[in-house]
Structure 1
Amino acid sequence: MKVCIVAEGCYPYVVGGVSGWINSMIKSFPNIEFILLTIVANRSVRGKFVYELPENLTQVYELYLEDCEWEEGERERKVRKRFHLSKKERTELTNLVMNRKIEWGVIFDLFQRKGVSVDNLLMGPDFFQIVRECWPV
């Protein structure tokens, strides 16, 4: 079994509180594989973990809020126009929207591509089309 934990601004960057609880929980279930999605402000904390990660925590994905293009310029508009989802990415995003079983690696890998952010994904035509297909008017 795999469990994905979403941690915002805490584990594995800060000691104590929620971070301590998450670390203890992962260690308490050595037979379960954990994947961690961390949401942090920016790339300045990238990989700066204060916890020694347990062996059953097999992947850590870092999502940076400041990677979003709140005010886009000409370059970002060009990137958005060129950005298209693969068939597999589209399928997994549809599964996410519809609360079905998700192949998380596909979703996480999507954000590792150059020029892809949460902002340009959610504001892009591919995601809009997924939403329209899931909830036709």
Structure 2
Amino acid sequence: METTDNTTGINESLRSIAKSIQQISSNLDRIATGMEMPAREAPSTVIKARRSPARKKVLVVDGVVKQIKRIPSTRIIYDILLKSARGMDTSALMKATGYDQRKVHNVTFRLKNQGKIKNVQRGIYKTV
């Protein structure tokens, strides 16, 4: 007799749990139909490249800013190399300009192709 009482108690518990689940399910359905999901925007496919900050030259006359011009990074590195007597290596150029290693190498490569600088030793550049 104990097993039938036990199974009927379990069956009643399962029925009450099933009824609770059905009520929760119907409530969720009502909530889902009442709310509309906002439309998502398509992700932008354009990726903007980060540029290093441009150096600017400011011309001040009598306390008034007359002209602001951007100075190209090639010109900045070339001017630094002009001032050095023995030439400079890439780490010194990185410290002087604040550019990363990749930018310094790209600029020195460009200046070498233009014939404005030459390699004194490996990694050390000097103006021609």
- Both structures adopt the same fold (TM-score exceeding 0.5): no
Higher relative CO (Cα under 8 Å, sequence separation at least 6) belongs to: 1
